Structure 1
Amino acid sequence: MADNTLYQLLGVARNASDGDIKKAYRRLAKEFHPDKNPEAGDKFKEISFAYEVLTDPQKRRIYDAQGIRGLQEGGGGGADMAGFGEDIFSHFFGGGLGGMFGMGGGRQRGPRRGEDTVYPLKVTLEDLYNGKTSKLQLSKSVVCASCGGTGGRMGTAPAPCRGCQGRGIKIHIRQIGPGMVQQKQTMCPDCHGEGELMSERDRCRTCAGQKTTSEVKILEVHVDKGMRDSQKITFRGEGNQKPGIEPGDVIVVLQQVPHEVFQRDGHDLHMTKKISLTESLCGFRIPIKHLDDRTVVIMSEPGTVLQPGARKGVRGEGFPIHRMPFEKGNLYLRFEVDFPANHWAPEPVYPQLEGLLPPRRAYQRPPGEHVEDVHLEDFDPSTQSRSGRAEAYDEDEEEHGGPGVQCAHQ
């Protein structure tokens, strides 16, 4: 048979109507409201919870059939009701239903887990290409070995905090309407969220009652070949320790610094190489120092013309593939051609050079009288635009009257 705890809290029978329940709640709310009766805050929370359950048809049906545990364990209502009792109680009181009515806790969920600790580790492109082992020194909190995490001397135990009744939080309730309350949770300032206090004389001398001490630990961070920028390396359970809480992880995040020569794109490497006009026309052999200190000689055969912006690739000279270090991507090169300066050779050399190069386009003077030869000059549109000067001149004329404005004769 299901219990009558919620009905007893409101002082109504199990077959009470919604109207009877509402009247009972209003009467009790006036009596136990925190504004009028500050010491009855817990009682007000209990009757508010009872009112919410008994005025909701689905929740009341589950409660009538299975009691508090039915709400807490889902009451056979499927996934939508799973964990209902525990979740709604946590919303109002920050605890389990058993803590309020003395009926035992709900489903066990295992230990709480601490926060992860994140450390950035700067690496070069060479480190990611060749692999590297770095040592990371970190300071972490560990459970005090002297007191075993109790915070007190041998044989002493902390007492529940009176300020929060051992919850670690304080809950402030404000009624905003009939059957409607607004709650705000804050960490208990007395116990700092621990839910318990240790007297000054009984505190552990090693940790001063803090339950943990500080420890310096060295972690070896293995950067494997082919790892990427922003990739994470996780050390399970190496985070800060607290009694009763599963330690979080230490997460190392790789941060690659820019490289002067190479840019990485997945498994491929890219670089820009400047060559002379002679090399672009007649071929070349150019040594390039790779990321593993090898010297790779790139070659272009005579007669293979590399135009400005040309792109070429070298298969298998890119980046190692993570966990498959003997497989590599490709190396791609973009060529920039460095042309010689004006008048780089004596005048007689140009006809000889022209005889070696492909023929220039034939020129035939256009017919007619209106044909004029002009010479090319170096030109910067931002500073030498004639149209810009003309517009400035027109504006100046308008400002000062211009030639179209004449003075009136007296």
Structure 2
Amino acid sequence: MGVDYYKILKVSRTSGEEELKRSYKKLAMRWHPDKHPSGTQELAEAKFKQICEAYDVLSDPTKRQIYDLYGEDALKYDVSSPSGAGAATRRRDGGRREAEDIFDDFLNGFGDDGDYNEINHKIKKDNDNVNGKGNSKKIGNNNNNNNNNNKADSKKSKAAAIENKLGCTLEELYKGSKRKMVISRIVPDDSGKPSTVEEVLAIDIKPGWKRGTKITFPEKGNQEPGLLPGDLIFVIDEKPHATFKRDGNDLIVNKKISLVEALTGKTLNLTTLDGRNLTIEVSDVVKPDHEVVISGEGMPISKDPKTKGNLRIKFDVKFPSRLSADQKADIKRALTRSS
């Protein structure tokens, strides 16, 4: 059969929907790449992808039936019917979903799943306890005890802050985006022993944010005995883009053109970071260090996202490797007449 999805999810072939969800949640939270340091992230990404793929197949009745009857390879094709000897008619377009999409759907209540509400409830409960809003019995001088505890807490130092890079595409920084990050941190349990707790944090990436921008979650880091929990800090990092390079609030595009195009003009077609088609007519002679500047087509300015920087187009003129005597003569006559 090849890949054993049941073994990957650690469930039996007769497992029902709830058992699949419980096992998937446990394994996906454990192997999410954002919870692993850079040295082990590649392994975690591979494991996380396998787990999400297994859940995507086994949680879908149709995919699961095809997989049980014909194996993993049959999922790449449209199978006419279970009794049709597994005849493959054509490859399916679009295939499988990305692991992060499967995970996001699960957290957002995909398939009437209540686990995300349960996670949110856990986070709210933990936050309420930190902020002194948790349920407690009022016995005797409880208010005074709370005041004394608050005074004591205010004198405590914080554990060291934890910083993590948050890689973002230029598209995300142009349009803004929302991320869900699974984190694990170490806190003392009721007996004072260190234990690991997991939470899901929502990060709202604003249009125009730059590399180095910091998003701080107060007291969401590790906690040491006698200290308040440290802060958890995500630092924005920009991923390289195939077309655009960022320079402050400007976007730069490097274009290669021929000598003929540099002298006679060219029409450029660009797709912007928000998916629009931009047509740019270059009619001037392109000289060394020549730039075409399109105002308002750069990155949003974070303090005023409706205002944008400029798009700057730089040119790399490709000269011919050789010219014939006739070509040289033609060029000389043409340039002599125009001078």
For CA contacts below 8 A with separation 6 or more, give which structure has more relative contact order: 1
Greater Rg over alpha carbons, structure? 1
